[in-house]
């Protein structure tokens, strides 16, 4: 038996910033050794549809749903059954089920062995649902699956999943709810031992979800002498001891969702805690003092944003010498309170934008309160361009506490900035998918 893993892209344009699709490494490790495996990543390589296989397995996010459904149609045309899993099929199982022979709802670790067994027997079920209280003990990726692929230099490791916060725009909480499963520390350290000398990115939705576990992890990382980055919530600054451990354990950078400079916006998105312990400048000073570069994330389009918000945010990001900044419009993801609110208010410009042929990447998906959709789109494009000019990159680099603290910091800083600069306009204005028609299950293409 042969299984082909497929990681769909948003469009048909190749990406320069693709990282290893960790989920397939995990599923590979749960697959019987007599099953042949292949991986094709739509972001970096063509998919050989005519290569013989017995099952195509796709991981699907909302932005990649249309492309995933088009890929599925190609396999089904050739008589190959398709199984889909991930955030999008979990949040919209009825939709995804129209384009696949089977869908996996929830985390796939508990359902994958049964999916493989059923596929081998030619008896795939339409829906597989994960068990509650996911046990991640013994879960580790088979990294040989990624060999020979042109992925970025970061090695992806996951300690846990889910987040203890419930921001209204975030699909993570819609997927996991209050569940925040953790891996066994022994398993994580064994995996990290194999990655000594490489740069590690912890792909946890929030590495600080369990502060006691985070403290134990930071202590365990110190003797490994590795460099790493992660995603964390800003409340890390409430715990100076934890911050010290984080810096001492080799953390070079952290992605933090500042989201907005407007207090009223933070309240609306249920993220008011971002500034409960002080302002952003004070928080950054504490992080920089530990040598931690900051990749700041900002969203625009909440009810208290105006055209003036763009300049205020850009000034803050440049003045703070953030190592990197993401400037994004609000994306109403299915299953989130944000989507439901905008739908209820009649403000969605594209109801199912992820499948809409008229939608182009980067277009505003809803009607903002205090500006036009075009003003929101153009303001974000301008921020991305001005923050990432060569001059701005050089000036931001001159932050001796973080970006220029050591050669390791400088290398990481320049690497992520050059890749980001290349990707700024790569997908802007492009349609999702490949332009072909969607073919639901049970119909002919």
| CA separation for the pair 233, 8 (Å, rounded) | 29
Evaluate whether 41 touches 5 at the Cβ level (below 8 Å): no
Once rounded to an integer, what is the mean pLDDT over residues 112-122?
A: 97
State what percent of residues in the chain have pLDDT above 90: 83
Cα radius of gyration (the chain): 22
pLDDT tens across 255-291, in order?
A: 999 999 999 999 999 998 888 767 999 999 999 999 9
Which helix (H) or strand (E) covers residue 95, if one does? helix 93-97
Once rounded to an integer, what is the mean pLDDT over residues 341-370?
A: 96
Evaluate whether 324 touches 295 at the Cβ level (below 8 Å): yes
Average the pLDDT over each of 139-153, 200-214, 266-280, 289-303 and give the range with the smallest value.
266-280
Once rounded to an integer, what is the mean pLDDT over residues 303-312?
A: 97
Three-state secondary-structure class, residue 202: strand
Read off the DSSP letter of residue 130: P
Evaluate whether 431 touches 361 at the Cβ level (below 8 Å): yes
Read off the DSSP letter of residue 38: E
Token pair belonging to 214 = 């985070």
Alpha helices by DSSP H, listed for 292-353, are 307-319, 337-344
Confidence class of residue 357 from pLDDT cuts 50, 70 and 90? very high
Is the pLDDT assigned to residue 445 strictly greater than 70? no
Evaluate whether 265 touches 306 at the Cβ level (below 8 Å): no
Evaluate whether 28 touches 57 at the Cβ level (below 8 Å): no
Once rounded to an integer, what is the mean pLDDT over residues 21-40?
A: 97
Question: What does the pLDDT read at residue 442?
Answer: 67
Confidence class of residue 443 from pLDDT cuts 50, 70 and 90? low
Once rounded to an integer, what is the mean pLDDT over residues 299-325?
A: 97
CB proximity list for 292: less than 8 A, separation 6 or greater: 246, 247, 251, 252, 253, 254, 402
CB proximity list for 358: less than 8 A, separation 6 or greater: 350
pTM here is: 0.94
Q: Walk me through the domains of the chain, giving residue ranges and CATH numbers.
A: 2-129 (3.40.50.280), 153-345+389-423 (3.20.20.70)
Mean pLDDT of the chain: 94
Token pair belonging to 42 = 């739509």
Evaluate whether 130 touches 153 at the Cβ level (below 8 Å): no
Question: What does the pLDDT read at residue 16?
Answer: 81
Which helix (H) or strand (E) covers residue 90, if one does? helix 87-91
- C-alpha atoms less than 13 angstroms from C-alpha of 269 in its C-beta half-sphere: 29
Evaluate whether 321 touches 403 at the Cβ level (below 8 Å): yes
pLDDT tens across 144-166, in order?
A: 999 999 998 899 999 999 998 88
């Amino acid at each position: 038996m042969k299984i082909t893993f497929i990681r769909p892209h948003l469009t048909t344009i190749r990406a320069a910033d693709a990282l290893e699709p960790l989920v397939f490494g995990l599923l590979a490790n749960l697959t019987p050794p007599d099953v042949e495996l292949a991986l094709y990543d739509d972001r970096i390589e063509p998919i050989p549809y005519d290569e013989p296989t017995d099952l195509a397995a796709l991981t699907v996010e909302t932005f990649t749903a249309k492309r995933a459904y088009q890929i599925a149609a190609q396999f089904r045309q050739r008589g190959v059954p398709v199984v889909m899993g991930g955030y999008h099929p979990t949040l919209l199982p009825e939709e995804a089920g129209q384009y696949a022979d089977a869908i996996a709802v929830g985390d796939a670790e508990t359902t994958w062995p049964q999916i493989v067994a059923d596929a081998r027997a030619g008896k795939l079920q339409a829906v597989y649902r994960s068990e509650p209280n996911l046990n991640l003990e013994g879960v580790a990726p088979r990294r040989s699956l990624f060999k020979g692929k042109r992925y970025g230099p970061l090695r992806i490791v996951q300690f846990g999943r889910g987040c203890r916060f419930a921001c209204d725009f975030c699909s993570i909480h819609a997927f996991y709810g209050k569940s925040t499963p953790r891996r066994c520390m022994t398993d994580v350290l064994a995996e990290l031992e194999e990655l000594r000398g490489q740069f590690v990115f912890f792909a946890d939705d929030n590495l600080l979800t369990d502060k006691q576990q985070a403290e134990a992890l930071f202590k365990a990382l110190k003797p490994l002498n590795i460099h790493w980055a992660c995603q964390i919530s800003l409340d890390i600054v409430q715990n100076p001891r934890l911050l010290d451990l984080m810096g001492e354990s080799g953390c070079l950078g952290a992605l933090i969702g500042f989201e907005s400079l407007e207090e009223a916006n933070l309240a609306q998105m249920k993220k008011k805690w971002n500034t409960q312990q002080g302002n952003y400048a004070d928080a950054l000073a504490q992080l920089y003092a530990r040598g931690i570069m900051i990749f700041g994330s900002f969203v625009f389009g909440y009810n208290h944003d105006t055209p003036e918000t763009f300049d205020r945010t850009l000034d803050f990001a440049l003045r703070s010498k953030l190592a990197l900044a993401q400037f994004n419009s609000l994306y109403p993801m299915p299953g989130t309170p944000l989507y439901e609110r905008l739908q209820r208010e009649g403000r969605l410009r594209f109801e199912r934008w992820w499948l809409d042929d008229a939608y182009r990447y980067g277009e505003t998906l809803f009607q903002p309160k205090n500006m036009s959709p075009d003003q929101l789109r153009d303001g974000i494009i301008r921020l991305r361009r001005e923050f990432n000019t060569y001059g701005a990159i050089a000036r931001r680099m001159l932050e001796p506490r973080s970006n220029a603290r050591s050669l390791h910091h400088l290398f990481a800083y320049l690497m992520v900035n050059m890749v980001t600069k290349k990707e700024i306009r790569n997908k802007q204005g492009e349609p999702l998918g490949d332009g072909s028609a969607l073919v639901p299950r049970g119909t002919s293409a």
